[in-house]
Amino acid sequence: MNVPFLDLKAHHDPRRAEIMAAIEAVVDANAFAGGSFVTRFEAAYAEFCGTRFCVGVANGTDALWFALLALNVGPGDEVITVPMTFMATAEAISYTGAKPVFVDIEPRTFTLDVSQLEAAITPRTKAIIPVHLFGHCADMDPLLAIAAKHGIPVVEDAAQAQGARYKGRPAGSLGRIGAFSFYPGKNLGAWGEAGGITTDDPDLRDRMAMFREHGQKKKYYHDVIGWNGRMDGIQAAVLSVKLKYLAEANARRRRVAARYDTLLAGIPGLTLPVPAPYAEPIYHIYAVRVAGRDALIPRLAARGISTGIHYPVPVHLQQAYAALGYHRGDFPVSEACADTFLSLPMYPELSDDQIEAVATALRAELG
């Protein structure tokens, strides 16, 4: 049986007519860049996250960047994040002129190891960006307590966590600002590129909206040097439709994960993800850990099972960041995860037969 890693067509087909009609409404209104469809999505997404505001932007990288710019992060500053994340988290820091400073992840939740946070804080630290990797929240209460003690704002990288919860509170409402990606493959994905930034703070909301709009509050009057980071109307319309079904889709992902948990238990050499008691994860990725991963992937592919690696190289070891001077051994948990992570097929429409085929293939290869 063929099991794709992700099947967007299976996800979109049941809603295709409704989404196409929403797109036509944008065309009828000529509301292509920013505009009323974006405003409507912003209100709906803020409500979904339990925040006062959402600023719709062009992608998740811009969301992180504008969040940091709004907090006045710039050259000479440091921003703390984790090395086990998508490159964009660090890129957004670098594009403010600040320096990324890494704290390793902890091995159970794959999120920022709060016990190592305080040692990384210096007088230059201007923000902390925990990453809710794979849709599982970082341990926010102790993290926020340390941040508050030092007066440092927290920006959640919630790009993989649309609808995830921490002790019942939604991702994006936990820090000062939440940054989301709506890249097509994310749990809430556009039909193109999009992102969003959530906050309760009206001043931060205004500043982020200004940066996305060429630094202007009033058209052609530019207070600061900004950027073209608007969300486009068609993406907002698509997202507004898909948002209505997100909670259900996340619940289906959790069911898929529970099925994997049962079927994969006890396979030698396979370590399964174990959510923390505080978490309600949304399984953007279902990542197991396995030694010999690189040899296993083509053998699974030969059995029709597509897999992925998120991520094979931690950010501190990326060539692009060679100048930061980090070395292998600096963040051992992130490095061990990069060597052993294997992302299994995961999407809401994955069938029981497909889940069983994945488990059968893994058992045949490892058992």
Ligand X SMILES: *Cc1c(COP(=O)(O)O)cnc(C)c1O
> Is residue 59 at the binding interface for ligand X, with CB under 6 A as the rule?
yes
Q: Which is nearer to ligand X, 131 or 177 (CB)?
A: 131
Tell which residue, 352, 349, 237, has the closest CA to residue 8.
349
Report the site for ligand X in 146-165 (rule: CB under 6 A).
157, 159-160
Report the site for ligand X in 218-237 (rule: CB under 6 A).
none
The site string for ligand X over 193-222 (x = CB under 6 A, - otherwise) reads: --x---------------------------
- The correct pick among 51, 81, 85, 187 for binding ligand X (CB under 6 A) is 85
Amino acid at 76: G
State how far Cα 259 lies from the chain centre: 23
- Provide the sign of the torsion angle of the four alpha carbons 262, 267, 273, 276, taken in this order: positive
Peptide bond into 311 cis (omega under 30): yes
Q: How far is CA 299 from CA 95, 242, 293, 294, in A?
A: 40, 35, 10, 9
Q: Which is nearer to ligand X, 88 or 154 (CB)?
A: 88
φ/ψ of 215, rounded to 5, equals 70, 20
What's the min distance (Å) between Cβ of 88 and ligand X? 4
Which range in 86-94, 142-150, 324-332, 351-359 contacts ligand X by CB under 6 A? 86-94
What's the min distance (Å) between Cβ of 115 and ligand X? 22
- The correct pick among 51, 81, 89, 96 for binding ligand X (CB under 6 A) is 89
Which range in 37-45, 80-88, 294-302, 355-363 contacts ligand X by CB under 6 A? 80-88
- Taking residue 107's Cβ as centre, other Cβ atoms within 10 Å add up to 14
Q: Which is nearer to ligand X, 239 or 270 (CB)?
A: 239
* Site size for ligand X (CB under 6 A): 14
What's the min distance (Å) between Cβ of 64 and ligand X? 6
Tell which residue, 282, 293, 308, has the closest CA to residue 362.
293
Decide if 124 contacts 77 (C-beta within 8 A): yes
Query: Residue 332 and residue 104: Cα distance in Å, rounded?
Result: 8
What's the min distance (Å) between Cβ of 80 and ligand X? 15
- The correct pick among 86, 102, 311, 326 for binding ligand X (CB under 6 A) is 86
112: its two tokens:
């920022």
Q: Which is nearer to ligand X, 69 or 355 (CB)?
A: 69
Query: Residue 57 and residue 228: Cα distance in Å, rounded?
Result: 9
- Provide the sign of the torsion angle of the four alpha carbons 275, 6, 57, 44, taken in this order: negative
Query: What single DSSP character describes residue 305?
Result: B
356 Cβ neighbours under 8 A, 6+ residues apart: 263
Report the site for ligand X in 96-155 (rule: CB under 6 A).
131
> Is residue 183 at the binding interface for ligand X, with CB under 6 A as the rule?
yes
Which range in 5-13, 54-62, 259-267, 359-367 contacts ligand X by CB under 6 A? 54-62
Decide if 175 contacts 144 (C-beta within 8 A): yes
> Is residue 273 at the binding interface for ligand X, with CB under 6 A as the rule?
no
Report the interface residues with ligand X, using CB under 6 A.
59-61, 85-86, 88-89, 131, 157, 159-160, 181, 183, 195
